[in-house]
Each structure stands twice: as C-alpha cells, then as structure tokens.
Amino acid sequence: MDAILHFAPYTGWVYPNETIVEWSVLIAVYPYLTGLVAGAFTVSSLYQVFGFERLRPVAHLALLTSLSFMIFVPTPLLLHLGHPERAFNSTITPHLTSAMAMFGFFASFYVCLLILEGWFAYRPYIVHQAQQRSDLLGKIYKLLTLGSYDVSEHAMRIDRKWIFALAVIGIPAAHGLHGYVGFMYGSVKAREWWSSDLMAVIFLFSAIISGVSLLAVLYVASCKLRNLAVDLACLKGLAYTIWGFIMVALVLEGLEFANMVYKGHDGIDMIMHYVTGPLLVPYFVLQFAVGAITPFLWLSYMIWRGTTGRALVIGVTVSACLVLFSVFMMRWNVVIGGQEISKTGKGLLSYHLYFWGKEGALMAILVTLAPLALLFGLTKFLPPWAETTDAHG
Amino acid sequence: MPKHIVRLVLIIAAALVVAAIAPRILKVDSFYRFGHYRANAVPEIAAREPVYQTPRYCYGCHTERRAQWSAGSHKTVICEVCHGPAQGHPQDVKMTIPADAVKLCTQCHEAMPGRPKTQPQIQVAEHSGGQQCTVCHNPHSPKITVATAKVSGNAATGKQRAAACSSCHGDAGISPNDTWPNLAGQSASYLVRILTAYKTGDQTDPIMTPLAQGLSAADIQNLAAYFAGESCKSETAGKPVGDAAAGAAVAKNCTACHGEGGRGGNPAWPKLVAQKPGYLMNVLKAFRAGLRKDPMMAGVSRGLSDTDIANLAAYYAAQSCQNTK
Amino acid sequence: MTEESKPTLNARRAFLAKLGGAATCAGAAMGAATLGILPNATAKSEPGADGASFPNENYDWSKHEWAFGVDATKCIGCLRCVEACKRENDVPQNAHQFRTWVERYVHLEGDDEVHIDSQQDPVNIEASGSEKTFRFANRYKDAKVYKAFFVPKLCNHCTHPSCVQVCPTGATFRTKDGVVLVDETYCIGCRYCVQACPYGARFFNEEKHVADKCTWCYHRITKGLQPACVEVCPVGARMFGDREDKQSPISLFIRNNRVQVLKAEMGNAPNVYYVGIDKEVN
C-alpha cells in the first residue's frame, strides 16, 4: 500500500474521515463479476431447467463462462482486504448479522455447484478423452473420471437427474451469491444513495442482462474464431432474454430513483445536485441512454422487424456490448457514486481512479479479463461446442 | 448405483464433515466466550499504557509550579496540554518548554467567532505588538490581577494635605522639573496602590519611602482623590529626549495596560500621557535593573534599549491630554 | 419387474455397505466434535472464567456503564482534544483520519447557508502549518458573523451499532461496559463498518491495515483515568463517566440538561449526549 494516502478533494461539508474513499474500483468490479456468473448461469438454466432448446449451442459455454468468472470472483476482494491472509475469519466465525459474512458460504457453495454441474455435463467427454489419451492431459482426464467409465444409458439418466437438480438449486444459489451484494448496499442506512429495499433486486436483474450479453458476445466471437455460422435461433433467444430483462431492470432502477426523489429524505438536495452534476454523464448518459435505452430500442426494432442474418448478429453483438458497459457503469455509479455523496448530506467528494496500484484501473481491467483467458483455456480442455462434444444434456 | 455417483457422494460427505468441523478447530482462542468476538481482545486493549499522565503525575516533583498553577486561572489546563504528554518523563523524555508562546497561546486565546464570550480572547495583531505572551503573562497563572484599590477619599481634605507634596510635584500636581512625575489627572486607584506600596515597603524609593510612612491610610485616600481630580497638562517645549515617532512604534506594546497614548486603561495602572520624560526614562531604567519592583514591568522593560527608553519617554511626553480617561 | 441379476444385487449391497461406512465415519466425527474432545475454549485459569473479574482483576466490566457528554456551548475550538487523542492512541499523523474531531458552524449575516469546516479543510491545514498539528484558521474574523459555534465529535459507541452489525468476522464488538472496540488482530480490513457508520466515526488505519476508531480510551478508563480528550479539554466541554453511578458528572449532565444525540432517527441509540448543538448539526 502506498505510504502517502490519497485524499479525495471535496466540496461543501464532509466528515473528515470520509476524505478517503475506501471502496475502490475493485469493489465495483466484484459485483460485476458475480453478476456475470449469475447471468451466465441463467442462460445455462434456461436450457437445463426451462427447456429452451434453442439455447443448446451456448449451454455448455455458459457453464464454463460461469465457472471461469467464479474462479476469479474472490480476486478483487483479496486485493482490497487489509489482511487477505485473515480472509477466512469470516467463514470460521461468520457474524450472521452481516450480509458480507454470507460471501464465504455462497461463494464456496456456488463454486462447488458449478464444478459439479460442469463435471456431470462433461462426463461423457471426459470419459472418452481418458480412454483415448495417454499423455499428461490424459492423466488429468483419468483423474476426473473418478475411476468410473460408465456411460451406459442408466448412468446417463442418473447424470441428467443430477444436472437438473443442480441447475434448479443453482438458480437460488446464484441469486444468493449476487443478491447478497445488492442487499449489502441496500441495507446501509447511512447512505441515502444506497439505502433502498429494491437494491438487491436491481443488482440481480442487471446481473442477468450482463451475463446473457456476455454469452451473446462470447458466442458470436467463438463462432468467428472457429469460422462457423452463428446459430441465429440461439442468438435470437439470447436477444429476447436480454430485451425482456432490460425492461425489468429499467423499471426497477427507475422506481428506485423515483422513490428516493419522491420521499425526499434529508440529503436529497445534495443527491439531486450530484446526479445532475458530476454524475450526469456516468448515470443518465452512459448507464441509461447509451447503455440501456439504446440497446433496448435497437433490440425492439430488430424484434419488431424480424431482423435476421448478419444485421441481427451485428445488432445483438453491439447491443450486448452496450449492455455490458451499462451494467459496469451501474456498479460504478452505485459503489463509487455512493461514496462521493457525503453522509452529511451537505457535501460531495470526488474519487480519483489511479491507473497503477493494487486497486487501480489496470488491476481492475486485468481482473475482469483474466476470467476470459481462463475460459479460453477451459474451452480447449472441455470444449463446449455442440458440434464437437458428444451430445449430452 | 454407478461407481462415480457413489464416489462423488463420499467426496461430498467428507467435504461436509470437514466444513462442519473446521470452524471449531480453526476458531481462535476465547472467541464466543462473551459474544461474537475474541474475548481476549478486551484485556489486550485495556493493557495499553496511557500516554498522558495527568497533573497528579507532575505534583511529586514540581511543587512550586503546582502551587502557582492550581491557584491560577489555568488550573483547568493540564500541564501536558502545553508541555506534551509526560509518559517516560523524567527517565527517557525531557519535557518541552514551548518556544513560540504566541503560536501556542493563541490557539485558545485568539479572538475567533464561535468562541464563547466566557473565554478570554484577544485580537492578536493589536494585543502585544508581536511580543511573546510570556513577557507579561505567567503561563502557570496568567491572569494579570493587580488589585484595583478602592478609592474613597475626599479631594478637598486631600488638597490640604497635598501642600507638603508641592515642592517636588508642583502646585496642582504639575511637576516643576523633569525628575519628579506629574500627578495631576493620574488614576486614583493607582495612586492609592503605589502610596500604600511605598508605605508598606512593597515598593522602595529613598525619598518616597519615609514620606509615605508618615501618611495614614485616610491621607493616602484623600491625596489620591485630590490629585486624580486635578487636570492633566500637556508638556510644553523642551528639547525632545528622543524620537517620538520611533517611540510610538514601541509604545504599541504598552497600550494593552496603559491605554492608547498612555491615556489610561485599567485604573490599576498609571497613565503616562504628558508625563515628564526624564522621570519616565529613570523609571523604565529602574524597572529594567530591578531596582523598581514589578514583575510585569521587569519583563516588559528587559528588552528595551536605552534608545527605546528615550524614544518612549519622548513619545509619552509629547502626547496631548485630550481624551484622557 | 424382472428379478434383479446377481451383479446388480451385489453392486447394490456394496453401495449400501459403503454408504453405511461413510455415515458411521461422519457420525463419529460429529460426535467427537460435539463431545468436545477437540480443543475447547475456556480454560479455568483465564480471567472471566466462572464469573471472575474481566478484563482484569482491577477492573470489572460488568460494574460499569460508560457514557460521554459534550457541552458544545463551552467548546472553544482549540483542538487540544484532537491533538491529544492522536498522541494517546497512535492515530495516523494526517489531517484526514481522526478518532475525534471538532466542527465549526458559522452563519454569516444575510447568508442562508451555514458554513461548516473541520480539520481536513485545506485552509485550516494551512493555518496550522502541517497535517500533524491542528488549528482553525480565523477565516471569519473580518466577516459579519451572525452565529457561530464549535461541536466536538467522536464515536458514539451506540447501543445498536451499525458497524458491529455489519462486521463479517466479529472483529468489532460492544463490550459489557458499553464500549465498541476493534480487535486489530482479527479485523480483515474489508471496511464495511466504515461504510455503515452513519456518523463517519470510523476510518481505515493504513499502517495496521485494519479498521480503527475512538475507543473512549479504553486503556485509560479501565484504570480509573479519563479519556485523553476529556483530560486535556481546558474548558470542560467534554465529560465522561459511569451511568451506574447516579452522582457521576455524566449522570448529572444527562439528568439536568435537555440532552440530545446525533441522528436519532437512525435507531443506533448513541451514547454521546450533546447539549448546545443546533439544527444543522448531524
């Protein structure tokens, strides 16, 4: 940690201890990652549980994506903690009144669930590879078989039951994993910008659109890399999902803001000043106009016109990218924005994003991209492509 | 049941058992004893050594200071406020005597909006001309209390008695020469105090001492009343003994007690307006040398050079009697 | 249903046997844990065992209920309390992290807006000369001041502290004598408590990498001393004492004055009682 403390400049009146903004960009990245995990898992569940057959081409990719991001979820937290070596204190002696104490349980449970579901989904492939290969990778595959090469119809049936059960359990688990973060913010009565009953739900719905958008982008990218045609039905399915959930997310966020303004608690003047001032661009322009309304309108248009082919691919990809951007801005506007509004209700601070450093922009970018690198590796180890894998639920 | 399911279930069961037992094994000592925290943290925190020792700690050695301080107006200000914490003193730490009194004292005593009126406050720029506070104020008993003597004399009776004083102090209290001071218009309370001081021996002067010893308390009161009622007269001509303009600059430091132009402030202290310059010079030199006793004047005059004294005398001598209190 | 073939039957039996074995192991482990064969918490010789005086033999926390009082009508804004606290408690030497601080409220004639400043204000830092000493700049001395006063602030040691509620590990807690403390060997430095405190009383200590805040000088009060800030205040604007003692200065202060607390609507039930604050103090 730097010897020199970085004090935030401020206007108006703020408590002296507030001049150091404690939760950095990494704390905005963390819910972004768990959101992607939850959202990607939603795609997988739409196929596994709700039977959206059209999403089959991305089902396994969704699982791997969810897992890749899940592995990196603790990273921003560990980088932020004052004593990362004591991180397990919250799991050994979890303080049950604290929403944050839930992290250890949700995270461990969820990573196990993902590994388990992925294992079941890939079992035939693993067994096949274990039987074919004799190199180092072959040994790893052999280990993963747990010594069983049973891919009989009976075993497959049992496997499918497990996958279904895990997918069903995974839905509330994912909601818990990501929802608790939203609850954490929503329950902080000290900050008017955070304190809201709707916060957990807003986080969840924006998580879903981010995860589905991520899948859309990854799917299109993977098709391009493999020189294959994009399954338009699948892409359309993803587009419908994004479109539907954007509506809900927008309604929820709109409601939350409207409630805050309407109730007008002490400090609302400063919030309005902030939202129409320093946060005008990040909030109304980037998060909403560019990142949510635009893709919503574009998707609406494509759905209305029945767009297909290349135009659909481009439209959905760009919309998905905008949504990904918008959801990150939402995390930023909540986490950083909340800290820029003083608890006094009479002042504003300004967070400086440093490029270097343990909690700087570079680290944030690396932490966000690292799961993609892992995913790339995983797709080589456990190919998710419907065309190449043995057909298995 | 397929083998892999069995093995998987075993692995999961083992993991659950570990997860259930691990917190109990890994939990630190004393956690949960009184609540959801490590109980031993409390005595650890309580065991920290205090840094500030409180005045009691100083009493053992610093008895004289203690006596002054506990009887004075700073008795609510503990020693360590100005001298820093006493932990480790005297073995390892030498206590500091603050160098810049102005910086230190004005932290509490600078006149500032928001400070309650009960707090003694000064306009720093106008108070002492930049002099250190300790020149006039004893930091351990800083309130300057010169008892303002009661004035209850009869001026007419005093006038009769004053006939004996005129050979030195002139008729109507205007001195005929440069050596002895004008008394006309002087603060009655001051006159009572100084005559009483001469009488009791608190102040000594070869001429005034025997004279004052011959006065009764009533005489002193009457004389004071008489001279106070007489009119101050502006000093005329004579070659100035020094540079009055330069003296004005130095005199800024004197206004706090003697008033603007020496026209009077607190009645306990003498007016200097239109006073004989020769007298003023002698008196200041006497204060400086410690021959004339006054702790405050001793401090004030310590830094004055002969030129300063001459300039001051010239300045006050040249002041007009108008607007005198 | 056809009769089961022998291999399947054997497999079933083998499975059941394995399951039984696993269950027994699990059961035994659970039983061991419950019986406390594994290391237990309280040893007989430790303080606090069997109702003995805790945290030490000279001070019993169950006999005290501490509270703090601030008479803001007396505060002169000299900031000795801020300096003393920093020295007493090793608080980081800067003008942005405090266990206690003083705020100045100034109303100027003809101006609706109240001007509030404290030790982190650059003008005040300039006036003091460094970030290690503290002073209010006399910035309003030539202005027409309608109303002005000083308000000392510190941790309120709430009865229902938000910070304790949100701590994921149990590193911050409330003692039996009513003091909220931080266990610096257990805190993981997540800073959730810093976010949750409505009063801005907590900060992150960059030297120790843990959360930090006013402790009411626990190490002093358990020795019969006053907190450092109370000790050095030259005008008696701060007071501290035991509510168990009905004649203590703090009990009388609360009894004889119309006292108020900060942000009462938060529901934290703070234990720092104020006299003489104004409507915009929060």
- In DSSP notation, chain C reads -PPPPHHHHHHHHHHHHHHHHHHHHHHHHHHHHHHT-SPPS--TTSTTGGG--SEETTEEGGG--EEEEEETTT-----HHHHHHHHHHT--SSSS--SEEEEEEEEETT--SEEEE-TT-HHHHHHHSSSSS-----TTTTS-EEEEEEEEEE----SS-HHHHH-SSS-EEE-TTS-EEE-TTT-----HHHHH-TT---EEETTTTEEE-----HHHHTTTPPPHHHHH-TT--EEEEETTSTTSHHHHHHHHS--B-TTGGGS----EEEES--TT--
Q: What pLDDT shows up at residue C11?
A: 58
- Residue C32 token pair: 């061991």
Average pLDDT over chain A, rounded to an integer? 94
Q: What pLDDT shows up at residue A387?
A: 63
Q: Domain segments of chain C: what residues?
A: 60-158+215-275, 162-212
Q: Which one of A113, A123, A126, A148 makes the best mutation probe of the B interface by having the most chain B beta carbons within 10 Å?
A: A148
Average pLDDT over residues C156-183: 98
The band of C264, judged by pLDDT with boundaries at 50, 70 and 90, is very high
The band of B300, judged by pLDDT with boundaries at 50, 70 and 90, is confident
Q: What pLDDT shows up at residue B145?
A: 74
Residue B21's closest chain A neighbor by CA?
A92
Q: Which one of C118, C166, C182, C208 makes the best mutation probe of the A interface by having the most chain A beta carbons within 10 Å?
A: C166
In a domain, A87, yes or no: yes
One domain for residues A170 and A49: yes
One domain for residues A131 and A266: no
Nearest to B8 among A91, A95, A146 (CB): A146
Q: What pLDDT shows up at residue C30?
A: 53
What is the Cα–Cα distance from C129 to A141, expressed in whole angstroms?
68
Q: Domain segments of chain B: what residues?
A: 52-91, 155-318
Q: Which SS3 state, helix, strand or coil, does residue A198 take?
A: coil
Average pLDDT over residues C264-282: 96
Residue A2's closest chain C neighbor by CA?
C206
- Cross-chain residue pair A100–C119, CB shorter than 8 Å: no
Question: Is the Cβ–Cβ distance between C151 and C75 less than 8 Å?
Answer: yes
One domain for residues A64 and A150: yes
Nearest to B5 among A92, A112, A158 (CB): A158
Domain that holds residue A170: 30-187+355-393
- Number of domains forming the structure of chain A: 2
Q: Which one of B25, B37, B53 makes the best mutation probe of the C interface by having the most chain C beta carbons within 10 Å?
A: B37
CA dist A300 to A246, A293, C207, Å?
Answer: 11, 10, 54
ipTM entry = 0.92
Architecture of domain C162-212: 2-Layer Sandwich (3.30)
What is the Cα–Cα distance from B273 to B143, expressed in whole angstroms?
26
Chains with 3+ CB–CB pairs under 8 A to C are A, B
In a domain, A338, yes or no: yes
Average pLDDT over chain C, rounded to an integer? 89
Q: What pLDDT shows up at residue B266?
A: 82
One domain for residues A182 and A136: yes
One domain for residues A181 and A75: yes
Average pLDDT over residues C3-28: 56
pLDDT over 70 percentage in chain B: 98
Residues of chain A with Cβ-Cβ distance to B36 below 8 Å are 93, 95
Q: What is the pLDDT of residues C56-107, one digit of tens each?
A: 999 999 999 999 999 999 999 999 999 999 999 999 999 999 999 999 999 9
In the predicted model, is pLDDT for residue B149 greater than 90?
A: no
Residues of chain B with Cβ-Cβ distance to A108 below 8 Å are 19
- Cross-chain residue pair A16–C119, CB shorter than 8 Å: yes
Q: What is the pLDDT of residues A242-294, one digit of tens each?
A: 999 999 999 999 999 999 999 999 999 999 999 999 999 999 999 999 999 99
Range name among B239-248, C1-10, C178-187 with the lowest pLDDT average: C1-10
Nearest Cα of chain B lies from the Cα of A202 at a distance, in angstroms, of 32
- Cross-chain residue pair A92–B26, CB shorter than 8 Å: yes
Range name among A361-365, C46-50, C203-207 with the lowest pLDDT average: C46-50
Range name among A125-129, A307-311, B294-298, C158-162 with the lowest pLDDT average: B294-298
One domain for residues A293 and A389: no
One domain for residues A330 and A383: no
Chains with 3+ CB–CB pairs under 8 A to A are B, C
In the predicted model, is pLDDT for residue C249 greater than 90?
A: yes
In a domain, A343, yes or no: yes
Q: Which one of A6, A78, A83, A158 makes the best mutation probe of the C interface by having the most chain C beta carbons within 10 Å?
A: A83
Q: What is the pLDDT of residues B69-90, one digit of tens each?
A: 999 999 999 999 999 999 999 9
Q: What is the pLDDT of residues A166-215, one digit of tens each?
A: 999 999 999 999 999 999 999 999 999 999 999 999 999 999 999 999 99
Nearest Cα of chain C lies from the Cα of B92 at a distance, in angstroms, of 17
Q: What pLDDT shows up at residue A321?
A: 98
pLDDT over 90 percentage in chain C: 80
In the predicted model, is pLDDT for residue A393 greater than 70?
A: no
- Cross-chain residue pair A98–C192, CB shorter than 8 Å: yes
In the predicted model, is pLDDT for residue C40 greater than 50?
A: no
One domain for residues A107 and A153: yes
Question: Is the Cβ–Cβ distance between A378 and A219 less than 8 Å?
Answer: no
In the predicted model, is pLDDT for residue A389 greater than 90?
A: no
One domain for residues A343 and A378: no
Question: Is the Cβ–Cβ distance between B52 and C231 less than 8 Å?
Answer: yes
In a domain, A202, yes or no: no
Q: Does domain C60-158+215-275 have CATH number 3.30.70.270?
A: no
Nearest to B3 among A93, A108, A147 (CB): A147
Q: What pLDDT shows up at residue B203?
A: 92
Q: What pLDDT shows up at residue A390?
A: 45
Q: What pLDDT shows up at residue C42?
A: 41
In the predicted model, is pLDDT for residue A147 greater than 80?
A: yes
Q: What pLDDT shows up at residue C25?
A: 52
Q: What pLDDT shows up at residue B239?
A: 81
- Cross-chain residue pair C73–B24, CB shorter than 8 Å: no
Q: What is the pLDDT of residues C49-69, one digit of tens each?
A: 667 899 999 999 999 999 999
- Cross-chain residue pair B7–A147, CB shorter than 8 Å: yes
Residues of chain B with Cβ-Cβ distance to C222 below 8 Å are 46
Residues of chain B with Cβ-Cβ distance to A150 below 8 Å are 2-4
How many interchain CB pairs under 8 A, B with C? 172
Q: What pLDDT shows up at residue C41?
A: 42
What is the Cα–Cα distance from A204 to A31, expressed in whole angstroms?
10
CA dist B146 to A249, B14, B132, B137, B221, Å?
Answer: 79, 89, 20, 12, 18
Q: Does domain B155-318 have CATH number 1.10.760.10?
A: yes
Between C50 and B234, the higher pLDDT residue: B234
**CA trace torsion A129, A132, A135, A141 (10° rounding):** 30
One domain for residues A342 and A258: yes
Q: Which one of B4, B11, B18, B37 makes the best mutation probe of the A interface by having the most chain A beta carbons within 10 Å?
A: B4
Nearest to C166 among A22, A93, A98 (CB): A98
- Cross-chain residue pair A190–C166, CB shorter than 8 Å: no
One domain for residues A180 and A58: yes
What is the Cα–Cα distance from C117 to C108, expressed in whole angstroms?
14
One domain for residues A67 and A91: yes
Q: What pLDDT shows up at residue C3?
A: 54
Nearest to A188 among C187, C195, C280 (CB): C195
Highest mean pLDDT among B19-33, B149-163, B196-210, C257-271: C257-271
Question: Is the Cβ–Cβ distance between C176 and C196 less than 8 Å?
Answer: no
Average pLDDT over residues A21-25: 96
